[in-house]
């Protein structure tokens, strides 16, 4: 069976049958480049839509943040087994999709950067953003603690 003559393929992730056309080009490693009807690229068995979702989730969850999210979930009794976003939290034999939202506190109220999805079978993690200005002369007073995974500094005094 020749790949070139197939026009659709079932995505290995969302299991949806989608357009799958060889562009005639190859990647540097020799693998063929397949696109859908809108010229969006397939990533192996992952369809362009799933690939876009994966990339988006990666952008939304950088490794530093992922470390803290995983740690917070463990403290709440969940186990995160996958290392690539979107994360899944396991508890009592059930896997829940992890929804991460950046949040800020404004006048005592939690404000989310974007609304949460409607689904109920998910675990929501809020990552609070705060910004502090530390004058250079105060930086020299901060103690730097090295840990296995990150560098932490003591919270600077509020100016």
Q: Which residue is nearest to Zn ion (CB)?
A: 11
Select the residue interacting with Zn ion from 7, 14, 56, 76 (CB under 5 A): 14
Scan residues 37-56 and list those touching Zn ion (CB under 5 A). Answer: 47, 50
Query: With binding defined as CB under 5 A, does residue 134 bind Zn ion?
Result: no
Query: With binding defined as CB under 5 A, does residue 11 bind Zn ion?
Result: yes
Residue 50 or 80 with smaller CB distance to Zn ion: 50
Separation between Cα atoms, residue 90 and residue 142, nearest integer Å: 38
Contact 35, 48 (CB under 8 A): yes
Residue 52 or 101 with smaller CB distance to Zn ion: 52
Among 4, 102, 88, 14, residue whose Cα is nearest residue 52 = 14
Report how many residues bind Zn ion under the rule CB under 5 A.
5
48 CB-contact burial (10 Å; exposed 0-12 / middle 13-18 / buried 19+): buried
């Amino acid at each position: 069976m020749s790949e070139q003559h197939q026009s659709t393929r079932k995505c290995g992730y969302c299991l949806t049958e989608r357009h799958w056309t060889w562009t005639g080009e190859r990647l540097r490693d020799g693998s063929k480049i397949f696109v859908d009807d809108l010229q969006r690229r397939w990533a192996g068995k992952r369809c362009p839509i799933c690939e876009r979702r994966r990339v988006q989730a990666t952008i939304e969850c950088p490794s530093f943040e992922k470390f803290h999210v995983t740690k917070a979930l463990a403290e709440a009794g969940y186990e995160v087994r996958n290392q690539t976003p979107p994360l899944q939290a396991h508890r009592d034999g059930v896997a829940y999709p992890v929804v991460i939202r950046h949040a800020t506190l404004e006048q005592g109220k939690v404000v989310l950067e974007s609304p949460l999805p409607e689904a109920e079978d998910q675990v929501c993690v809020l990552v609070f953003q705060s910004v502090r200005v530390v004058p250079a002369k105060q930086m020299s007073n901060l103690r730097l603690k090295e840990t296995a995974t990150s560098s932490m500094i003591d919270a600077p005094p509020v100016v």
